[in-house]
């Protein structure tokens, strides 16, 4: 068999496996949105069965034979060609999956499905003890996974690599340490400022049905195609890419907190725009997939914060908000609205945190995860360890577990290594946004007149359609001319919040 024929067979098989993966994604979306609570045990069996099928296909010796035929041949001589990228990433996935015992893969799918339902109940009751047995089983399995996969310095690196290929905790320590120091000082200076926003603006009565309509309209305006997606309600917002033409967004509503659902919707729409921007014809191959979660988060955080919390955004959208919520915000100016949605305040809930303190929430979780995976912190000690660390970071003590260690869904799904990608996303987003300003011109003038598609199309060309051609750091360098660097993010924060709060940094 020649390399070209072997490649065709490899891609055909990969695309078939992707269909199974999309079926599993749909079941997960349903489990988190509309599935009746009593369906959880059987859903766990369904997802465990599918996970086993997918793992069996991904570890077939046939894949190894096909890869051996293709690798080293002139067919993949150009390392940045679609063929070479697909082979490189399929090889990476194959080698990784071969290290995982099938029983472990199926157990993780079963245990995490049950755990996510248990987490919803435990969070609602602020009862960590009810969730503890589920989390203990998940951590046990993730430690087994890390041991099977570990090639770097720490077990945690093996889990991190699943979400941000090539990233290490040693590098994150180097980046996050100075960030923590500077962000803490920045937040302290802002809290001491005399100028304060009127938070009553976003805490008025905003009917849920109108919030949904407004959120969908805003998502459409920035480039999310609602004919190929939808918006639903869940406990913890997420975006699910089922497949080409089917991208599901979710959010959660509070009629006395407009910002929660609206910026959650913009955030998930950013993920959805990335998914819709991937090459549909390449679905089921690495060239039709996202680079990493860090790059994915760069898209969601950019649309949420750098666009959605921008004065030019509200210059355009405030009249639409006033016409949607008649009589609710008639007395509000674009400047007042912008200040209100950019308040900086130490708080307990990550998803409601401002841009300045948000990364402190992430660094806290990153430190907790390293303690759990590398240092074997007992799961039963999490609430106390969380509260102590939160006190160190924010000088606040969570009043209960719902506002503390139970607030995020990630650990219930086994997502250890996921949290750092949020901060990496913020770093990448600032670099991409600076570059977009250089290449596209006056983005503020565009946004103020409702022109958001030039940015969407620039991101689609530079990032989305590149698939997995480049690793995260290489993609950042390809787009911006320099490698990942936190300084553009800090420059963005100092400039924006210095102007809002009347401070000089």
Which residues contact residue 74 at a Cβ distance below 8 angstroms, ignoring those fewer than 6 apart?
3
Q: What is the pLDDT of residue 332?
A: 98
What does residue 248 show for φ and ψ, rounded to 5 degrees? -105, 125
Q: Residue 317: is its pLDDT beyond 80? A: yes
Tracing tokens 């990153």 back to the chain, one arrives at: 366
The total number of residues written for the chain in this structure = 505
Q: What is the pLDDT of residue 224?
A: 98
- Cβ contact 119:137 at 8 Å: no
Are the beta carbons of 263 and 341 closer than 8 angstroms? yes
The reported pLDDT for the residue numbered 236 is 87
pLDDT over threshold 90, residue 1:
no
DSSP-assigned letters across all residues of 357-399 = HHHHHHHHHHHHHHHHHTS---GGGHHHHHHHHHHHHHS---S
- The pLDDT of 478-492, averaged and rounded, is 97
- Domains of the chain, by residue range, sit at 3-149, 169-501
Whole-number CA gyration radius for the chain: 23
Q: Confidence band (pLDDT; 50, 70, 90) for 24?
A: very high
Mean pLDDT of the 75-95 span: 96
Q: Under a CB-based contact definition with an 8 Å cutoff, are residues 504 and 498 in contact? A: yes
List pLDDT tens digits, range 199-236.
999 999 999 999 999 999 999 999 999 999 999 999 88
- Whether the predicted pLDDT of 295 surpasses 80: yes
**Tokens (6 digits) for 81:** 């060609």
Residue in the structure block whose two tokens are 């002139």: 74
Estimate to the nearest angstrom the gap between the alpha carbon of 230 and the chain centroid: 18
Average pLDDT for the chain: 96
| Helix, strand and coil in the chain, % to nearest 5 | 70, 5, 30
Tens-digit pLDDT profile for residues 417-452: 999 999 999 999 999 999 999 999 999 999 999 999
Q: Which of 31, 89, 268, 297 does the annotation list as catalytic?
A: 268
Tell me the pLDDT tens digit for each residue of 29-70: 999 999 999 999 999 999 999 999 999 999 999 999 999 999
| pLDDT at site 57 | 97
**Active-site residue 268, yes or no?**
yes
How far is residue 431 from each of residues 163, 297, 443, measured CA to CA in Å?
A: 20, 13, 15
User: Quick one: what percent of the chain has pLDDT higher than 70?
Assistant: 100
**Average of pLDDT values for 342-365?**
96
The CATH class given to the 169-501 domain equals mainly alpha
Instruction: Please check the confidence at residue 152 and state whether its pLDDT lies above 90.
Output: no
């Amino acid at each position: 068999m020649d390399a070209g024929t072997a490649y065709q067979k490899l891609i055909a098989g990969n695309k078939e496996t992707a269909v199974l993966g999309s079926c599993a994604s749909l079941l997960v979306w349903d489990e988190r949105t509309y599935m009746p609570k009593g369906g959880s045990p059987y859903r766990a069996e369904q997802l465990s069965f599918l996970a086993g099928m997918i793992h069996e296909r991904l570890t077939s010796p046939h894949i190894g034979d096909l890869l051996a035929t293709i690798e080293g041949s002139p067919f993949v001589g150009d390392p940045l060609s679609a063929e070479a990228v697909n082979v490189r990433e399929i090889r990476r996935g194959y080698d990784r999956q071969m290290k995982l015992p099938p029983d472990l893969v199926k157990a993780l799918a079963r245990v995490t499905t049950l755990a996510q339902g248990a987490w919803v109940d435990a969070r609602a009751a602020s009862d960590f003890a009810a969730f503890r047995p589920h989390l203990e089983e998940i951590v046990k399995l993730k430690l087994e996974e890390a041991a099977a996969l570990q090639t770097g310095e720490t077990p945690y690196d093996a889990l991190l690599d699943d979400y941000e290929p090539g990233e290490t905790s040693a590098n994150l320590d180097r980046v996050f340490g100075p960030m923590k120091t500077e962000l803490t000082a920045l937040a302290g200076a802002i809290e001491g400022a005399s100028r304060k926003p009127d938070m009553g603006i976003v805490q008025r009565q905003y009917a849920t049905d109108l919030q949904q309509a407004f959120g969908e309209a805003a998502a459409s305006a920035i480039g999310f195609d609602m004919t190929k997606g939808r918006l639903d309600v869940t406990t913890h917002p997420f975006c699910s890419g089922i497949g080409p033409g089917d991208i599901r967004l979710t959010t959660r509503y509070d009629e006395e907190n407009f910002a929660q659902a609206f910026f959650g919707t913009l955030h998930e729409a950013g993920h959805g725009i990335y998914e819709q921007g991937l090459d549909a014809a390449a679905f089921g191959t690495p060239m039709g997939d996202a680079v990493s979660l860090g790059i994915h988060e760069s898209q969601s955080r950019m649309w949420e914060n750098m666009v959605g919390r921008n004065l030019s955004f509200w210059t355009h959208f405030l009249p639409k908000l006033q016409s949607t919520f008649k009589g609710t915000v008639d007395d509000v100016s674009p400047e007042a609205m912008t200040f209100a949605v950019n308040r900086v305040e130490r708080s307990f809930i990550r998803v409601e945190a401002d841009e300045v303190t948000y990364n402190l929430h992430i660094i806290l979780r990153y430190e907790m995860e390293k303690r759990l995976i590398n240092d074997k912190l007992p799961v039963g000690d999490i609430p106390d360890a969380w509260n102590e660390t939160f006190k160190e970071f924010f000088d606040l003590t969570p009043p209960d577990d719902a506002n503390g260690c139970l607030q995020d869904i990630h650990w219930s799904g086994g997502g250890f290594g996921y949290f750092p990608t949020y901060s990496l996303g913020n770093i990448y987003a600032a670099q991409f946004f600076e570059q977009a300003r250089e290449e596209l011109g006056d983005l503020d003038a565009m946004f103020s007149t409702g022109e958001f598609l030039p940015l969407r199309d620039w991101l689609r060309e530079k990032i989305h359609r590149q698939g997995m051609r480049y690793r995260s750091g290489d993609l950042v360098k390809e787009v911006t001319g320099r490698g990942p660097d936190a300084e553009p993010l800090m420059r963005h924060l100092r400039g924006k919040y210095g102007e809002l709060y009347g401070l000089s940094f």
